[in-house]
Amino acid sequence: MYGIILSIFLVWRIGVVGGWTSSCWVLLLVCLLGVRKDQIDVEWKRFFIFGIPLLGIFYYFYGTGNGFWWDIANWMFENNKHPWNWDSMMNSIPFNDGAWARAIHFNRLDKLMVWIYNYGFVLSLWICIVRSYWTRSIKKMLSYALSGHLLQFPLILPFYNLILLREVWWVKHQPDLLGRSFATENDLLVNVMNCFPSMHTSISFAMLLLALREKDRIFKYMMVIYCASIIFSTMYLQIHWVLDVIAGMLFAYGTVKLADLLINLCSKLLPARFKSFYEQKKKRFSSDSVAA
């Protein structure tokens, strides 16, 4: 009971730090509806010993990571000359600005796309991590986390250091459809300068690829719709170029495969005593079945 209460508290704190709206919580709850279909046979008490600290670590880095990321972004802007400037090249490619994504647009759809984009960078990841927590799977939690920000942040920095590519609306001198306000010109340029590859796309597409591995159809369908909407919103809102999106999907695929490799390698290095302790209930259940 204490483990469940602490788990719910951590999930609530994650939402508070992220400023989740009621729509965010509803989306999470819908994705949790069929969670039992993907639960593994591990005793809750044994899972909480490892799961709660791991979720707490993710929560801690979530709370501190945003400031750390913007410190890096500011440092890059102030110290990096970017050997390649792709603004003109990307703007010269037909249909690359994604204007076709706004062929149909109206006020309510604009607001929906803004909500999807603003929360999509972290909400898609947290939905998957929280759900994997309730499946009692440490492996899944690590898989989602590594395939998301933990690996993507360090791996994407070389691209952002070498390539200067600004958001579509800025290059084409259009209004910012996100309606952002920037205190200084420096703040504006820091926000719009790193486009290739699209990290909104790479995070959401990585979550989509991993979600397709789950058994629960509700979760899979919801994540396909939600993650695809995040990717679409980057073009609808005139933020990312089409080639940014394609590059983001390829980047996500490579990150997921790298995360799989790392997890498989680390699992082989785990002591047998740890594995037997964590999987004890599963082994006892199997032996009882054989005896029956």
* Token pair 């990290």: residue: 199
CA 172 – CA 195 distance, rounded (Å)? 14
Residue 84's φ and ψ, nearest 5 degrees, are -120, 125
Q: What is the DSSP letter of 59?
A: H
pLDDT at 55: 93
Mean pLDDT, residues 137-157: 93
CA 161 – CA 139 distance, rounded (Å)? 32
* Token pair 């070498």: residue: 162
Residue 130's φ and ψ, nearest 5 degrees, are -65, -45
H helices present in 80-106, as ranges: 87-92
Among the ranges given (12-21, 34-43, 184-193), the one the predictor scored with the smallest mean pLDDT: 184-193
Which amino acid belongs to residue 291?
A
Confidence of residue 79 (pLDDT cuts 50, 70, 90): low
Asked whether the predicted pLDDT for residue 173 surpasses 50, the reply is yes
Collapsed DSSP state (helix, strand, coil) of residue 194: strand
Max Cα separation, the chain?
73
Mean pLDDT, residues 107-131: 96
CA 73 – CA 70 distance, rounded (Å)? 5
Collapsed DSSP state (helix, strand, coil) of residue 84: strand
Encoding tokens for residue 282?
């599963």
pLDDT, tens digit, 9 for 90 and up, residues 193-238: 889 999 999 999 999 999 999 999 999 999 999 999 999 999 999 9
Encoding tokens for residue 79?
């110290």
Chain centroid to CA 92: how far?
31
Q: State yes or no: cis peptide before 197, omega within 30 of 0.
A: yes
pLDDT at 184: 79
Taking the model in full, what pTM does it have? 0.89
- Write out the H or E segment, with its range, that includes residue 70: helix 44-79
Asked whether the predicted pLDDT for residue 287 surpasses 60, the reply is no
CA 111 – CA 117 distance, rounded (Å)? 10
pLDDT, tens digit, 9 for 90 and up, residues 20-56: 999 999 999 999 999 999 999 888 888 898 899 999 9
Q: Which of 122, 173, 170 is nearest to 149 (CA)?
A: 122
pLDDT at 128: 97
Contact between 235 and 128 under an 8 Å Cβ cutoff? The reply is no
